[in-house]
Amino acid sequence: MALRFHNSLTRQRETFQPLVPGKVGMYTCGPTVYNYAHIGNFRTFVFEDLLRRSLRFLGYQVTQVMNFTDVDDKTIRGSQATGESLDAFTARYKQAFFEDLDTLRVERAEVYPEATTHIEEMVALIEQLRERGHTYEDNGSIYFRIASFPGYGRLANLNPDQMRTSGRVDNDEYEKEDVRDFALWKAWTPEDGPVFWETRLGKGRPGWHIECSAMSMKYLGEHFDLHTGGVDNRFPHHENEIAQSCCATGQSFVSTWLHSEFLLVEGKKMSKSLGNFYTLRDLLDKGLDPVAIRYTLLSVHYRAQLNFSFDGIEASAQAVRRLRDLYRRLEQAHLHQGPGSGGRAEVATELCRADFTAALEDDLNLAGALGRLFLWVREANSLLDEAVLSVAEAQTMELWLKEVDSVLDVLKEDCDENAEACVARLVEERVKAKAAKDFAAADRLRAEIEALGWVVKDTAAGPVFHRR
């Protein structure tokens, strides 16, 4: 089986062929750092995490670039509202973003370029477009003329002539030749205050779309493998990126475009007016387990709308618990070494590996892969119940589960080591109490452990414990 993706550009499933065998360059549109990112944003970021982890699982070397949009209308307005400099304002949200990524166990990209530190690259790109006749100026601003790019609309599957035109656009955007044109460079206005750059293009700031063209090509080359984002970025943002990049370089830009669908909350698109708008921090305040949130975001195919519900989080938490319980059992299997399963362990594991891998290769069908994984989980538990696993077999199974977890990243428990050591002592005491048939003491210790928020389970191999 070969890795296949549904390419938004062609709307077809295609076999993935990186430009350089074994290596993948991917650009993932990052956050505009003017507030805390919400759960819908994280649906996309977790999808991109699944993508990079899957690529690595499949043996590719990945270079991921994720930008920070740290200058635009919203960041400027935000900084003015708090009276901070733009840099100080956005720095807070950049840091918060990284904290949130850690909470959700999203792996770090290789490069996080910021728009404000790549002004020169953008200016050079705009100059290149100007030389090739794709731009025009008005009052110091520079616009991209989409009529100069015949391929415009291909990604979004929109015919420019049939786009709906509204009166509102006509009124607001009178300075453009065509309402569909977009700004590459915005001339300074008094509302921008201290936010401007004096450049060869004049005094002003870059438009939004140009940063992604400039920074992706700087770090990944003029033509690279994968570009991803939420569906809402498909048009106009990504369409404009294609226009800018192709017109500037004269060659194709991105091989494969991947777009993740929207996340709904309780069946509705998230919005502040509906009261179903949640940042990650809001959800943590409600006591939700971040790993359960991660699992939920992961377990629905990225091109399907995901309905986020609190019941769903509970179901995910249980599924994660099942995986963790098995992992603990495998870790401790050496304590009651068996005679060997007669090949059952190996066969089950190899079948699982083949099916799990095939599902991932099929446009990142993680839901299908998980279905197959849980079949193996049952088999593994059965073998443990029968106490037949040899030490080597248990290790093989444990290794496979760890390998799966290089994609899922849900096994590790968040707990501070002091608490764990403390509970471990109570568990030890309880073992002694039980050995002495002092069940009253054993029950008292169990209650104590549970009061600390932990659960202890007695198994054939001795007690195991974990956070509730």
Which among 19-27, 57-65, 157-165, 389-397 is the span making contact with RNA, rule CB under 7 A?
A: 157-165
Span interacting with RNA, options 52-60, 131-139, 395-403, 436-444, rule CB under 7 A: 436-444
Of 208, 257, 327, 454, the one binding RNA (CB under 7 A) is: 208
- The residue from 105, 301, 344, 467 that contacts RNA (CB under 7 A) is 301
Total number of residues binding RNA (CB under 7 A)? 83
Query: For residues 239-268, which are near RNA according to CB under 7 A?
Result: 260, 262-263
Report d(CA 40, CA 416) in Å as an integer.
Answer: 29
Question: Which of 304, 354, 387, 399 touches RNA by CB under 7 A?
Answer: 304
Find the binder of RNA among 77, 108, 203, 269 (CB under 7 A). Answer: 269
Q: How far is the CB of 384 from RNA (least distance, A)?
A: 6
Task: Select the span of 16-24, 115-123, 192-200, 315-323 touching RNA (CB under 7 A).
Answer: 315-323
Q: Is the dihedral of CA 400, 404, 406, 410 positive or negative?
A: negative
Q: Which stretch binds RNA (CB under 7 A): 19-27, 92-100, 210-218, 305-313?
A: 305-313
Among 1, 318, 406, 413, which residue sits at the site for RNA (rule: CB under 7 A)?
Answer: 318
Question: Least CB distance from residue 307 to RNA, whole Å?
Answer: 5
**Please, what is the minimum distance in Å from the beta carbon of residue 309 to RNA?**
6
Per-residue binding letters, 5-44, with RNA (x by CB under 7 A): ------x-x---------------x-xx-------xx-xx
Tell me the closest approach of the beta carbon of residue 377 to RNA, in angstroms: 6
Q: Is the peptide bond before 190 cis (omega within 30 degrees of 0)?
A: no
Helix (H, G, I), strand (E, B) or coil at 412: coil
Which residues 388-417 are close enough to bind RNA by CB under 7 A? none
Q: Which of 26, 155, 377, 407 binds RNA (CB under 7 A)?
A: 377
- Torsion angle, alpha carbons of 444, 445, 446, 448, to 10: 90
C-alpha pair distances (Å), 413 with each of 197, 325, 328, 376, 410: 47, 11, 12, 22, 8
258-to-75, 186, 261 alpha-carbon distances in Å: 27, 29, 10
Sequence-ordered list of residues with C-beta below 8 angstroms from that of 120, at least 6 positions apart, any chain:
199
Work out how close the CB of 200 gets to RNA at its nearest, in angstroms, rounded to a whole number.
25
Is 207 a binding residue for RNA by CB under 7 A? The answer is no
Instruction: Measure the CA–CA gap between 259 and 7, rounded to whole angstroms.
Output: 9
The H or E element that residue 468 is part of is none
Burial of 11 per CB tally in 10 Å (0-12, 13-18, 19+): exposed
Closest CA to 467 of 291, 241, 228, 226: 291
Q: In whole angstroms, how close is the CB of 8 to RNA at the nearest point?
A: 10
- Selected from 362, 420, 429, 448, the binder of RNA by CB under 7 A is 362
Q: Does 227 bind RNA (CB under 7 A)?
A: no
DSSP 193: T
Cβ-based nearer residue to RNA, 291 or 319: 319
Is residue 175 close enough to count as binding RNA by CB under 7 A?
no
Distance in angstroms (rounded) separating the CA atoms of residues 112 and 130: 28
Identify the residue whose tokens are 């570009």: 227
Figure out which of the listed residues 319, 345, 348, 408 binds RNA, where binding follows CB under 7 A.
319
Q: Which long-range contacts does 82-89 make (Cβ < 8 Å, 24+ apart)? A: 85/194, 86/116, 86/194, 86/195, 87/116, 89/34
User: According to the binding rule CB under 7 A, does residue 128 interact with RNA?
Assistant: no
The reply to whether 306 sits near RNA by the rule CB under 7 A is yes
Question: Which of 111, 124, 156, 351 is close enough to bind RNA by CB under 7 A?
Answer: 156
Q: Residue 402: count other Cβ atoms within 10 Å of its Cβ.
A: 12
Amino acid at 192: D
Burial category of 286 from C-beta neighbours within 10 Å (exposed 0-12, middle 13-18, buried 19 and up): exposed
| Site for RNA contains 338 (CB under 7 A) | no
What mask, x for binding RNA by CB under 7 A, covers residues 41 to 80? x-xx-----------------------------x------
Q: Which residues share a beta bridge with 187?
A: 204
